[in-house]
Structure 1
């Protein structure tokens, strides 16, 4: 019962605080004595803070306001991408306290070696956070592949199968698909919309569907493999064994061709380079076809383009939007708004850190050992 009540009080502060103890008692239905005891534990754990006085509403007497604290407890978001490793420390107010990125070529790599480098990054980042007075109490890792039961089942571009990362560091580590966590990052740190389809453009193309502020994972947690929606039935072969998949036309490799980076492609597009414009047009057309099917099936409130699609949005918006409008006009009139991610390349690593914050809010007794 105490664990449940801690979650109720902390959740109320999180959703609608700051609140006085009297206001918390009124909102939660708990007694003032119970609330005071629980608040003392949360203050001691460093997850809430007292921040001045407000009118409590009881005969006009002022009370001390309680809000989430960003001074002592933090979480760690991690990402293994094809060409980098990333870490991000976020406090409970969802303020980013530090970011670290390490360029790397992780294609067809040795899991043990990459995880060793990631462990080093974790140690370095947590040590720096601790120097500033923060205690990192949990981490989550975004990976470009399918995840089940805490195991990375298949990440074709990394060349990994059935890799367990639970022993990554001396703190709890959750693991999830990059597109899922990027969608949650957009939910918690970006546009804050509660109904949208997030499309992550990387080497592959993934998607995360958020409905009513919750991520839809599917029966086996594998929802969102947009990159393997067929857009041209007799198109080029895809690594999945099919032909004409979206990834073949709109994945990062397809967009870049022989160019070295997305920044170089964007510069070519800015200059009006014909080959670059044709690649963007081809990718935008394919995205429009795939997203038409997604809209017809899922009816999202909006479509958010992230990952490499973010910096390329000015050149993708036209062909994607035109394709959606043309195909959906008779069915629904106006397609859902097409927007660019508000947090860019940090979406997945922020979503990973945010996932641990949500766990703290939902189960403070278990996560914090109260």
Structure 2
């Protein structure tokens, strides 16, 4: 395994040969990206001829570009299929298995490290439970580095890492270089110098919910999911949120949009570590929900679901209260942004089928547009540490946007 090649150098000025050479170079880079994106977006392997048809390029141009992308590991060729017509059978193309990225995550209840390749497969991963509320950043990040090194050691030979990302439950600077505030961890003002270096890479930071939402918007790098417009809620100790429009996150002016967990349900409600009162996560965060259900802090989402299905009145009351709080906040989001799809992840996904009927009822009552388009609630699945997967997906998206660097590094 090797680390990422250096990023493509910026042109210092007009290259020898004038503007035409610069134009040719930029067209080639754009065409490489288009071919890579076309193959990665397909749910099934495609041939060079199919790529040519979908991109309106000539077959010879596509063939030349594919050869470069295969040489750089961005695409792979499978064994040729059979054919009943004339000529040789087509050689199917798929996303490359030799390019991957490392995704990391620190949550109040666990640490995670996962390596995804361009096919969207987890080729190595670890999730380590623990309690990191109020933890010392240096010690926790050192533990995360050791976990990441174990995962990187498990990556198959010949796989190159395109980069690393770290999902954190809080506000991150727009450049992804500084954690400004993570209330549930008790962390603030962490910069590049504080971050762990793994395989020669300093991870790029991102908000956990924003990155987890990528796992819904994309089923694999460059391949869109079935939802393109939705609000994502990440339910753990805190409640993170992300708004996705047209398959892309809506980060806001400073990258801080989506802090749904700190929208007020009731100003007279319980105090929140963020300094406000009555925040949504005080009603539906893991600790709040388990406490209201009469379950110990160590209980799991499955324990909560089992108690509800067994008819425990305290648990059922806690879920009704959670559905009410979610309905109040999410109806406001739907009314303001006109996004009538809600996806829940984390603990909320584990009890999603129990919350859904009552939550959708509150949304139908409170959302102005519900008469014409009723808001729907779905589960983002029970992928552990979805933020780590999203962090890896973000790094792989950069490869698909600029594959020329990988082609150059392999030549």
TM-score (norm 1): 0.90
Unaligned runs of 5+ in 1: none
The 5-angstrom pairing of residues 128-207 of structure 1 reads 128-131=154-157, 133-148=158-173, 149-150=175-176, 151-165=178-192, 167-169=196-198, 170-171=200-201, 173-189=203-219, 192-207=226-241
Contact residue 68 and residue 92 of structure 1 kept, 8 A: no
Partner of 1:235: 269
Partner of 1:210: 244
Structure 2 residue 148 is the aligned partner of structure 1 residue 122 = yes
Partner of 1:222: 256
SS of equivalent residue, structure 2 residue 242:
strand
The alpha-carbon deviation at position 113 of structure 1 amounts to 1.1
Contact residue 72 and residue 134 of structure 1 kept, 8 A: yes
The alpha-carbon deviation at position 86 of structure 1 amounts to 0.8
The whole-number CA distance in structure 2 between the counterparts of 1:359 and 1:14 is: 13
The whole-number CA distance in structure 2 between the counterparts of 1:254 and 1:50 is: 51
The whole-number CA distance in structure 2 between the counterparts of 1:369 and 1:192 is: 34
The whole-number CA distance in structure 2 between the counterparts of 1:12 and 1:314 is: 36
The whole-number CA distance in structure 1 between the counterparts of 2:394 and 2:340 is: 23
> Mean Cα displacement is larger for which, 29-38 or 9-18?
29-38
The alpha-carbon deviation at position 354 of structure 1 amounts to 1.4
The 5-angstrom pairing of residues 1-370 of structure 1 reads 1=25, 2-16=28-42, 18-25=45-52, 27-28=54-55, 30=57, 32-53=59-80, 61-62=87-88, 64-131=90-157, 133-148=158-173, 149-150=175-176, 151-165=178-192, 167-169=196-198, 170-171=200-201, 173-189=203-219, 192-257=226-291, 259=296, 260-262=298-300, 263-328=302-367, 332-366=371-405, 369-370=408-409
Q: How many residues align?
A: 367
The whole-number CA distance in structure 2 between the counterparts of 1:15 and 1:69 is: 9
The whole-number CA distance in structure 2 between the counterparts of 1:330 and 1:25 is: 43
Unaligned runs of 5+ in 2: 1-24
The alpha-carbon deviation at position 31 of structure 1 amounts to 5.3
Q: Deviations over 1:24-45 (max 9, x none)?
A: 4554455555444432222222
The whole-number CA distance in structure 2 between the counterparts of 1:81 and 1:223 is: 19
The whole-number CA distance in structure 2 between the counterparts of 1:338 and 1:253 is: 23
